[in-house]
């Protein structure tokens, strides 16, 4: 029986199943349409997606830096076997865009935080980074309030320095002396032809604030203003010695490298009104703005007084110490104190112009801190110096 079963299995293996009938002709495989378009990554190294893999000899495609606009969606039609396969070509390099001349900012609608345009604007451009060896931001913006005063302070790099890559040479320091309620301020403008004048400006501001704090904390409670200017000058010389690697202080080297102007002072609460005291070295200045009358009064003898001859560009600045001339007085109802560098003072002039109107409008009500800095960064042709401004509102003068 086993032999019969073995013979039957051998016959089936050689001749096929007698009951199976003739072998069926295989149906041709239907060509399937690829629902996913082929994709080659930007580096051409890995094949992803369906469809025909890319030719290995084809050069890799360049990464595109733009996104094509979305068009109407098209439903793919039936496959076309007779059509030749698509040819892959490397993306052609794009021609570099033609250089564009700076365009005035008024050619497009102003965005919320664009610099305010006053008259004819400065041409629009991308600022260069600061070439200072230490971090030097383009903007400083500060603001706070005490029980007596509200403070705003800002310093912005000028358009000329944004083009050249020079750092912001202005600086500012503000502090509150809690025991007396005084607000202390120092504003400095590094002289343009001194390579490290921005360091000198920072040194002078910090030395001035320290001197005022020391005076208010003393038994007399008074500031030695002559000592303040001398101390700021010494601090500049000492900083120059350190920065230049000198063995001893060299006043000439300090002046050549770090010369700076300075206005330093304080505002103290007083029964008759806020009392202002300040000293000046160089051409930075201070003003009182009558908010309702929109009138500016310059407090320091500089080139900003109406009817007086404009000074030359030469500035006698720290570390040369000028004679001490302390300015003091009271702020009246509706008045605010402004202290600024010539980047603010030069375009302001006597205030009877578009710049004066711009700030009278901006300061009619207390501005938010960032708006204060944005208003200072106005765009007007030819006015391209660094700008620094301190402003103080007595609480009763707000609004």
Strand order through the sheet with 387-394: 139-145, 149-156, 387-394, 335-340, 285-290, 295-298
**Residue range 139-397, CATH number:** 3.60.40.10
Q: How far apart are CA 151 and CA 144, in angstroms?
A: 5
pLDDT of residue 105: 45
pLDDT band at residue 322, thresholds of 50, 70 and 90? very high
Q: How far apart are CA 256 and CA 196, in angstroms?
A: 9
pLDDT of residue 4: 55
Looking at per-residue pLDDT, the higher value among 119 and 49 belongs to 119
Provide CB contacts within 8 A for 216, sequence distance 6+. Answer: 177, 179, 180, 182, 222, 223, 266
pLDDT at 201 exceeding the cut of 70:
yes
Burial classification of residue 317, based on how many CB atoms lie within 10 Å of its CB (0-12 exposed, 13-18 middle, 19 or more buried): buried
Average the pLDDT over 29-45 and give the result. 39
pLDDT of residue 216: 98
Average the pLDDT over 388-395 and give the result. 96
pLDDT of residue 10: 46
Q: How far apart are CA 76 and CA 80, in angstroms?
A: 11
pLDDT at 306 exceeding the cut of 80:
no
Average the pLDDT over 60-71 and give the result. 36
- Within 10 Å of residue 175's Cβ, how many Cβ atoms? 16
Average the pLDDT over 74-78 and give the result. 43
pLDDT at 368 exceeding the cut of 80:
yes
Can the peptide bond before residue 319 be classed as cis, meaning omega within 30 degrees of 0? yes
Looking at per-residue pLDDT, the higher value among 130 and 305 belongs to 130
pLDDT at 234 exceeding the cut of 70:
yes
pLDDT of residue 279: 96
Across the chain, mean pLDDT equals 77
Where do the domains of the chain lie? 139-397
pLDDT digits (tens, 9 = 90+) for 337-352: 999 999 999 999 999 9
pLDDT of residue 30: 44
Burial classification of residue 84, based on how many CB atoms lie within 10 Å of its CB (0-12 exposed, 13-18 middle, 19 or more buried): exposed
pLDDT of residue 165: 82
Average the pLDDT over 171-188 and give the result. 98
Q: How much of the chain, in percent, has pLDDT values that exceed 70? A: 68
pLDDT digits (tens, 9 = 90+) for 85-143: 444 344 444 444 444 444 444 456 777 778 888 877 777 777 888 888 888 898 999 99
- Within 10 Å of residue 114's Cβ, how many Cβ atoms? 15
pLDDT band at residue 387, thresholds of 50, 70 and 90? very high
pLDDT of residue 188: 97
pLDDT of residue 126: 77
Instruction: Average the pLDDT over each of 25-29, 241-245, 334-338, 381-385 and give the range with the smallest value.
Output: 25-29
Average the pLDDT over 30-34 and give the result. 43
Tokens 């703005």 found at: 289
φ, ψ at 241 (rounded to 5°): -60, -45
pLDDT at 48 exceeding the cut of 90:
no
Q: How far apart are CA 18 and CA 352, in angstroms?
A: 116
pLDDT at 371 exceeding the cut of 90:
yes
Tokens of 304: 């900003």
pLDDT of residue 343: 92
Q: How much of the chain, in percent, has pLDDT values that exceed 90? A: 54
């Amino acid at each position: 029986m086993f032999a019969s079963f073995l013979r039957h299995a051998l016959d089936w293996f050689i001749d096929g199943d007698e009951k199976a009938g003739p072998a069926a002709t295989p149906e041709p495989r239907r060509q399937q349409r690829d629902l996913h378009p082929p994709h080659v990554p930007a580096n051409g190294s890995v094949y992803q997606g369906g469809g025909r893999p890319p030719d290995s000899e084809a050069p890799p495609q360049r990464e595109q830096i733009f996104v094509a606009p979305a068009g109407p969606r098209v439903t793919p039609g039936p496959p076309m076997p007779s059509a030749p396969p698509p040819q892959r070509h490397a993306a052609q390099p794009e021609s570099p865009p033609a250089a564009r001349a700076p365009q005035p900012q008024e050619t497009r609608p102003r965005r919320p935080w664009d610099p305010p345009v006053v008259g004819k604007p400065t041409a629009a451009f991308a600022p260069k980074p600061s070439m200072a060896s230490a971090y030097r931001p383009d903007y400083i913006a500060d603001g706070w309030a005490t029980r007596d005063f509200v403070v705003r302070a800002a310093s912005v790099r000028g358009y000329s320095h944004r083009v050249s890559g020079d750092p912001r040479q202005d600086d500012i320091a503000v502090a509150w002396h809690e025991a007396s309620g005084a607000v202390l301020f120092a504003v400095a403008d590094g002289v343009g032809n001194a390579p490290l004048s921005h360091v000198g400006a920072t040194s002078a501001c910090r030395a001035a604030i320290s001197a005022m704090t020391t005076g208010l904390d003393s038994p007399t409670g008074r500031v030695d203003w002559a000592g303040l200017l001398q101390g700021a000058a010494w601090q500049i010389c000492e900083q120059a010695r350190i920065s230049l690697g000198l063995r001893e202080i060299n006043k000439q080297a300090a002046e050549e490298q770090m010369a700076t102007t300075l206005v330093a002072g304080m505002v103290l609460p007083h029964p008759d009104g806020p009392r202002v005291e300040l000293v000046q070295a160089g051409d930075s200045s201070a003003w009182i703005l009558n908010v309702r009358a929109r009138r500016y009064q310059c407090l320091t003898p500089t080139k900003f007084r109406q009817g007086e001859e404009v000074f030359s560009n030469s500035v006698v600045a720290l570390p040369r110490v000028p004679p001490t001339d302390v300015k003091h007085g009271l702020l009246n109802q509706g008045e605010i104190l402004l202290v600024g560098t010539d980047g603010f003072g030069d375009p302001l002039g006597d205030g009877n112009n578009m710049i004066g109107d711009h700030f009278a409008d901006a300061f009619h009500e207390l501005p938010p801190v960032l708006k204060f800095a944005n208003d200072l960064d106005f765009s007007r042709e030819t006015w391209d110096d660094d700008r620094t401004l301190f402003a103080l509102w007595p609480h009763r003068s707000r609004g």
